[in-house]
Amino acid sequence: MNTVTLANDSMTFPSSGTTTTSSVNKTDVDIHSVVEELKRAKQAVGKPFLDNPKFKTRDVNVYYNQTKQAIFNASLDIGRNEVIAMIGPSGCGKSTYLRCLNRMNDTIPGTKVTGDLLLDGEDIYAKDQDPVLLRARVGMVFQKPNPFPKSIYDNVAYGPRLHGLAVNRSELDDIVEQSLTKAGLFNEVKDRLNSPGTGLSGGQQQRLCIARAIAVSPEVILMDEPTSALDPIATATIEELIDELRSSFTICIVTHSMQQAARISQRTAYFHLGYVVEVNDTNTVFTNPGHRLTENYITGRFG
C-alpha cells in the first residue's frame, strides 16, 4: 500500500465496491436442523436457574388444539424483584410462555399446559388453585392500553373491590391514590378522577392499566409488549416506571424492542421456535451471547 487516498469528506458510506461481502441474500434457513439442534439441547444456554426464585418453571409444554405445540420443554427461573425480558422472533412462544404464568391460556379452548410452574414453590396449575386469585397475585398489562369504560377512579378501584381489599371508602381512596402515584399518574389525573379512563392519552392509559394491575398488590406483573403502541416519550416514562416498580414486584416483560430489553431488564430469555434457547444476565446476552441463534437475533442477522 503506497498511497492512501481518502477524500476529506469521505464520511458517507460507499454503497458498494470496497466490501468483500458477497451479495448472499439467501436466507439459508434450514429449520429442520435448527429444530433438531434445539431438541438435542437439554437446557437453555447461560444461567436459566436461580437460587430461591420467585417463579420456577420446568419442562413446560404448551399445546393448542392437541395438534400444534407452541412451547417445548421450557425450563427457567424468574428471580425476585427482577425484570426479566423475553425476546425472540414472532411466533417463538414468548407470549404464550408469559401467559402460562397467570393461566391466561386457560381462556383459550383446547389449550393444554404440562410441566411444573411453581410460584414460591406452589403449583399454580394445581386442582385447588383458583385462577382468579392467582391473577390477583400475578397481574398483567397488555400491548394495547385497555382501560375499562369507567372512570379513572373505578378502573383502579375495580380489583380491590372485587377482592374485598378495602373495608370502607377512605381505605379504597388510599389504595387508588397510592396505585396511581406508584404508576406515576396521580399528579396528572388527581383533579379528574371521575372522568372516563378512555379519555386519557395512550401513555396515560397504559399507566392507568399499570395502576389497575398494582392496585391489588400483586407479587408479579406480566407485561406483554406494554409500550409498542406508545410514542418514545411515553415509552421512556413507562420504562422508568418499570425500573421503580422492580423494588416492590417481580416483572416479566415480553418485548419486540431489543434495545428496550437491554435498557430495562436484569435478565433476558431468548425464545426461538418454541424453545428457550438462552437465559442469562442482560449484560452478557447483549455483549457476548452464548448461543449462535441469540447472536443472530440481537445483531439483526438471518441465521
Please give the residue ranges that form the binding site for another protein (CB under 8 A).
1-2, 4, 6, 8, 10-11, 13-16, 18-25, 258-259, 262, 286-289, 294-296, 298-303
Kindly tell me which of 163 and 292 has the beta carbon lying closer to another protein.
Answer: 292
Shortest CB 14 distance to another protein, Å:
6
Kindly tell me which of 17 and 164 has the beta carbon lying closer to another protein.
Answer: 17
- The identity of residue 25, as a single letter, is N
* Number of other CB atoms surrounding residue 94 within 10 Å: 29
* Distances from the Cα of 259 to the Cα of 48, 286, 302, angstroms: 21, 9, 18
Kindly tell me which of 187 and 287 has the beta carbon lying closer to another protein.
Answer: 287
Q: Are 101 and 95 in contact (CB under 8 A)?
A: no
CA distance 138 to 132: 10
Shortest CB 11 distance to another protein, Å:
6
Shortest CB 91 distance to another protein, Å:
17
CA distance 162 to 105: 22
Kindly tell me which of 11 and 31 has the beta carbon lying closer to another protein.
Answer: 11
Shortest CB 203 distance to another protein, Å:
23
Kindly tell me which of 16 and 66 has the beta carbon lying closer to another protein.
Answer: 16
* Three cell numbers, residue 123: 403449583
Cα dihedral angle (57, 251, 120, 58), rounded to 10 degrees? 0
Shortest CB 239 distance to another protein, Å:
15
Kindly tell me which of 7 and 167 has the beta carbon lying closer to another protein.
Answer: 7
Shortest CB 29 distance to another protein, Å:
12
- The identity of residue 130, as a single letter, is D
Q: Which residues contact 191 (CB under 8 A, 6 or more apart)?
A: none
* Three cell numbers, residue 198: 378512555
